[in-house]
Each structure stands twice: as structure tokens, then as C-alpha cells.
Structure 1
Amino acid sequence: MVEYYTQRASAGLIITEGTHPSPMGRGYTTCPGLHNQEQVGGWRKVTDAVHAAGGRIFVQLMHAGRVSHSSLLPNHARPIAPSAVPVVSEEVHVWDGKVPFEIPRPLELSEIPEIVEEFRRAAELSIEAGFDGVELHAATGYLPNQFQVSGSNQRTDAYGGTLENRTRFTLEVVNALCKVRGAEQIGVKIAPGFTVNDTFDDNPAETYTYVAKALSPLGLAYLHVGYNQGYARGTAPNFNPIDLLRTVYQGTLLAVGGFDRQQGDEAITSRRADAIVFGRPFISNPDLVERLRLNAPLSKGDIRTFYGGSEHGYTDYPTLPQLH
């Protein structure tokens, strides 16, 4: 991981892979965490190396909520969620392969502050680990997003029903992070229109507009907006999430979603976005910044190695000089 992130230190800002803030936040077999001193020490090696190479790096805190499985959690506990609504359209990766998602356990009202505190503690540890800031992953069906959308939130208490109530958990976590690091070191990722992990909402344009408006006055480092430009036919939303939220979010807006060099340039020139985030192209092109500067061809990534394995498909992608 030290080598991987250092290879990409030329990025204006590195946002790490999803990192769980507590053992119950884990959603996958080989994902990193940030909730104990051993993990702090491991991440410190990464951040020190990135900084030595002139880079900056935020840790992305991601609580999987219902997008998990009891075999991945302490004492084989059932995954937690706002409501007892499972993911049914996909399967979860566990140690032995793929299995159906389980029905999650609805969180008790008294438990929610404890989870907010886990995020706050992870923000404290992020300082020890040397990160320049924190991004809250509130997108693609993870726990904050599970609270936000009507499809997975059937609560009738202060965290369900109205838009204000469904957004409450996200805002409480963001405020807790800001108290630790300051709003200027906190980013939030949302992804209107994505339906991965059964992220369905009765009125997504209204829901995510409300979320963006609620975040706008906080003075965050940025709002990171995900948009899938490759929607399958019949699944695309009837709005462009980036354009929708650009009009209501007054701070720095980062856009991600299959952009190439020309599309990214056009989005920034037209002020549709303030910066472009590259995901998959940066996996297979450690020198992506230089390739974009030169308008050089990009290496294609091997998706079979994206989520685990050895250095193959992780740190062995060549740079331009190595290709010639």
C-alpha cells in the first residue's frame, strides 16, 4: 500500500480506498480500517511516504452498514442498518466466495450516537496517522446513504420519514468530524442516481438536493459528487447529478464518473465542477497526471485484480518511460 499510494503522489489530492471506522463498519474481506493503533501505524507509513513525494492524502471513512455479512463482523453479529431491509439485487463477497446478503438488524435509537462517536474517534486517529483530512463516504449504499434514501430507511423516529430526519445521521457525523479537524479538512461523497447496493429513493433529485443544501453552509473542503456516465439502459436518473447540485452547493464541488481528459477539461472550464476525480484510470496509470498533461494514451486496467491479490495489477502498472 505504501508503494501504491506513493506511485500516485502526483495527484492534487489522493482519496484513499474505503476505510471502516469500527469493526462493525467492515463490509469486505480485505479492506483497511482506522480504529486502533496498529492501523494508525500502518497508515502512517503511507502518509509519510506520500508527503515525502510531495502529495496530499485524505482518508475515506466508510461504514458499510447493511452492505456486509455476519462472517466479516465481530462475534458473527448481524450487519446493522437503519431498518431491517436487506440488499437483494446483489451478493456479498465473503471469505468463501459470494453469498446472499442477510437481513440487517435495525439500529436502536440509543445506538446511533455510539456510531457517530466511532466516526469522531476515527477522525482523531486520522490526525495521528498523518492524513491531511477526512472524506465521509455517504454514497453508493453505505450507512449514511442508507439513512438518506427512502428505500432502505423505514424508521418512524427522529432518523426516518422526513428529509430532515433522513439526513440527520449524515449531518451528525459530518459535524463530529468537523469538530475534530475543522470543516476545511472534511469532504463528503454522495452519488445521486446510483442504485448499486439497492440504493433506491422515491424522489432522488429532491433527497440529494436537500442533502447538498444542508452541507453547503458548513464550509467543507469539498462535496464529492459521483455520477455514472455509463448507466445501463433504463436505469439512468432523469437528471444530471453534477448539474443538479452545482446550483445548490456553494462550496468546492468535485465530480467523478468516467471522465476522460476532454470531458474533465470541459467540466472545469464551464464551471460545472471545480475539480475532477479519477478512479479506475489512476489504478492502471500511476503517472496519470503526466499522461493527462501530455494527452498520452492510458493503460487499461485489469478489473480482475482491482479488489485483492498480490502486487500484480496493483503496483506493477508501468509509467510512460517504462513503456518506451
Structure 2
Amino acid sequence: MLFHPLQVGALTLPNRILLAPLTRARADAGHMPNAMMAEYYAQRASGGLLITECTMVAPNTSAFIAEPGIYSDEQVAAWKQVTSAVHAKGGRIFMQIWHAGRAAHPAINDGARTVSSTATPVEGDIHTPTGKVPHVPAHVLTETEIPAIVAAFVQGAKNAIAAGFDGVEVHGANGYLIDQFLRDGANDRTDGYGGSMENRARFLFEVLTAVTAAIGSDRVGLRLSPLNSFNSMKDSDPVALIGFLAEKLNAYKLAYLHVMRADFLQAQHGDVMTVARAKYQGVLVGNMGYTAEEATQAIADGKLDAVAFGTSFLANPDLPARIKAGAPLNAPDANTFYTPGPVGYTDYPTMAA
């Protein structure tokens, strides 16, 4: 089942093995994509669809120091080497567009304030160029400030298409800005963007409405993580939240809905995938810890349409071929997930090597 073609919006995927968006922190100064990133993605072009690492839609919103951006003409030009390299190998690639919200920090953004749905900071510390420092309280976005951020997502999507991407994935997961509005653990607002699920989802739906109008709904995906407690996130009823969102999302005719099924930190539990499948009528992508065998069975059982593989695809540039051959997999080295340079990035061997 993993090797059956799949129509995803405007694209026909040759297989259902997707590269999950993985932060790798290899961009150059100024959040510029580079030739090493082009090599990394091109190595993995045999995946049905590649989804890039989270990419900044606005300046001074960095959470990782060396993540890429898509808000300047120079970045658009630099990304073309990535999309050209992937397309030259017959691949398809979406850009994940992203605003970090309160997960950013003034110390890595020229002193710029962080913004969020709430003033409450992320718990714990963040890495900066001068070492670890505590997260800071955020500026609570006013209703009049939100349209400018929606516009930044739109411009990021347009820029991604101009850079040669086949589409974009809106990042609504993992405790970043959209997710900070969605989940009641980080949304303590009393205005039109807080309280009910409908109000908390308003920002997400405004982004999706504007982005799909700008580039076409068949070139837009969405990632959600109703259970993941990363970045100090929780929700009082994550299963109800994914059910509400999945049903409402049908109206957008997206290329796909990408759902993380679990919590990195094991603080929240629940079966969100069954509810998502029951409510969502489009292409449903599952993510987090799937083996090839489990993915194959889930697709055969109609529980999912495709699976996004993270660390296994990180460590195995030819993952589809290895799965097809039943070949052993390289083990990922967590020590090099975010370190500069090619080690642990572009030097994982293929089967042939």
C-alpha cells in the first residue's frame, strides 16, 4: 500500500512515504538556504512528497538561530537551488511556513519582542548565540495586529511558489503561533480569538482562507499536533479539538491534513487519529513513530492515506527503496540533528554505498 500512487491536491505522488518536516538548523546567516540544504533534500527526492523544515514567514521570529526564512527576495532566490535539485531528481516538495510566536526569543532576534496569544512564556530555557537563557513573556497580539501576521503567511506562501515549491504546509503544530491560539493551555484570551474552540481556531482559519485564496487550496497542507506538549502546550480536550478542526477543514479542500498522533513528552494521551479519520474527508497523513509495517497496515485498513517519516528518513536518504527491499535501516544520530555542517546531515549512506 505504501507504493500505491496517491493524489494529493495538485500532485500525484508515486508513493505514500513522505518526508516529515524536520528542523535541521543548517541555514546560513540571515536565515539563507544553501547548497548543502539542496543536497540534503535532493538525496531524499524518492519520497512521495518532501516537506521542508519550518521556515520563517517574517523576520525576527527565529526560535532555532539557523533555520531558514522565506520573507526576502534573496531567500526566494536561494531556495530555488533546493527546489531545482529536488525536481531534477523527479521529486515533489512543499515548504512548511511558520511563525514561532512565543517560542522565539529577543536574544536571537535583534531584541525584537516575541508575540503570542498569551503573555505566559514557554517554560524552561532556549539556546541563543550566547548560551541558554529563560524564555520571556510575550506581547499579547491585539485583534488589530493579527491581520499583519495573516498577511505574512500569505506572502510566505506566494514566495514559496515563486521559489519553485509545489505547495506549502501551514505549521499549526508543536506549540508555535497558530497552535498557541488553538489550544486552551496557551490561549487565555477573552476576545474574539479566545474561549470557544471556534474562537481559538479563528486565527488558523483566517490564515488558511487567505493562503488558499493566494496559491490555491490544492497546493496547501496543514499540520496539527493536538496531543504534543512540546513548548509547554496542552489542551483540556485534545480529542474534541481535533474532531472540531477536522470537520471544519473539509470546507477548505486542502491538499492534505497532517496529524501528529502522539506527544513527544508523553504528558497527554488519546486517540486523535481515529477521530480525524472519521471527521476529515480529504487526504489524511499520519506521523510519529510509524514503522513501515504499521504504516502499510494503517493505509490498508483505511485509517490513513499516507505516513510522514521523520528520523528514519533523516538517517536513510533512500528510505523508500530500503522499505521496498526490506533492507536494514541506518540508525539516526541525535547528536547531529541540529549541529552545523554535513556530518549527520548529508553523509548518511544509501544501500548502494
Corresponding position of 2:235: 201
Q: What amino acid is the match of 2:112? A: A
2:144 alignment partner in structure 1: 110
Give yes or no for contact 2:168–2:221 (8 Å, CA) kept in 1.
Answer: yes
* Map of 2:187 onto structure 1: 153
**1:255 counterpart = 2:286:** yes
Aligned partners of 2:227 and 2:235 also within 8 Å:
no
Corresponding position: 1:163 with 2:197: yes
Is the 1:283–1:301 contact (alpha carbons within 8 Å) kept by the matching residues of 2? yes
| Residues 15 and 59, structure 1, Cα contact 8 Å, conserved in 2 | yes
Cα offset, 1:231, TM superposition: 5.5
Name the CA shift for 1:95/1:253 in 2 (closer, same or farther; >3 Å): same
Check if 1:289 corresponds to 2:324: no
- 1:93 and 2:127 equivalent? yes
Alpha-carbon displacement from aligned partner over 1:246-298 (angstroms, at most 9, x marks no partner): 11111100001111111110110001100011011111100001001111110
Within 5 Å, which residues of 2 pair with 1:52-91?
52-73=88-109, 75-88=110-123, 90-91=124-125
Partners of 1:59 and 1:133 within 8 A in 2: yes
Tell me which residue corresponds to 1:30: 66
Residue identity matched to 1:225: V
Structure 2 residue matching 1:312: 3-state secondary structure: coil
The percentage of counterpart residues that share the same residue type is 42
Secondary structure at the aligned position of 1:127 is classed as: helix
For residue 66 of structure 1, give the secondary structure of its aligned residue in structure 2: helix
Which residue matches 1:9? 45
Aligned CA-pair RMSD:
1.2
Q: 2:94 is paired with a residue of what secondary structure? A: strand
1:199 and 1:230 map into 2 onto residues whose CA distance is 11
Deviates more, 1:184-193 or 1:239-248: 239-248
Match of 1:304 in 2: 335
Q: CA deviation at 1:230?
A: 6.7
| 1:81–1:231 Cα change, 3 Å | closer
How much has 1:72 moved relative to structure 2?
A: 1.7
Contact kept in structure 2, 1:30 and 1:308, CA below 8 Å: no
Q: Secondary structure at the match of 2:99?
A: coil
Question: Secondary structure at 2:51's aligned position in 1?
Answer: strand
Residue 206 of structure 2 corresponds to residue 175 of structure 1: no
Q: Is the 8 A contact 1:229 1:258 kept in 2?
A: no
**Hey, which bits of structure 1, 4+ residues long, moved more than 2 A?**
228-232
In 1, distance between residues paired with 2:263 and 2:157? 32
What SS is found at the alignment partner of 2:312? helix
* Equivalent residue, structure 1, for 2:277: 246
- The answer to whether the Cα contact below 8 Å between 1:25 and 1:62 also exists between their aligned partners in 2 is no
Q: TM-score, normalised by structure 1?
A: 0.95
2:93 and 2:61 map into 1 onto residues whose CA distance is 21
Residue 254 of structure 1: SS of its match in structure 2? strand
Q: Any idea what SS the aligned residue of 1:23 has? A: coil
Helix, strand or coil at the partner of 1:255: strand
Quote the Cα distance in structure 1 between the aligned partners of 2:69 and 2:232: 24
Give the CA deviation at 1:312: 0.5
Amino acid in the other structure paired with 1:84 = A
CA contact (8 A) 2:41 2:86 kept: yes
Matched to 2:117, the amino acid is P
Deviation digits for residues 212-236 of structure 1, max 9, x if unmatched?
221122110000001237764xx24
Q: Distance in 2 between matches of 1:181 and 1:14?
A: 18
Shift of 1:27: 1.5
Tell me by how many angstroms 1:196 deviates. Answer: 0.7
- Which structure carries more relative contact order (alpha carbon 8 Å, separation 6+)? 2
Q: Is the 8 A contact 2:98 2:153 kept in 1?
A: no
* 1:96 CA displacement: 2.3
How does the TM-score come out when normalised to structure 2? Answer: 0.88
SS in 1 for 2:298: helix
Task: Find the counterpart in structure 1 of residue 12 from structure 2.
Answer: none
Give the 3-state SS of the residue equivalent to 2:84 in structure 1.
helix
Matched letter for residue 277 of structure 2: R
- Distance in 2, matches of 1:272 and 1:153, equals 31
Alpha-carbon contact 1:2-1:49 (below 8 Å) kept: yes
Of 130-139 and 19-28, more deviation after overlay is shown by 19-28
Deviation of 1:77 (Å): 1.8
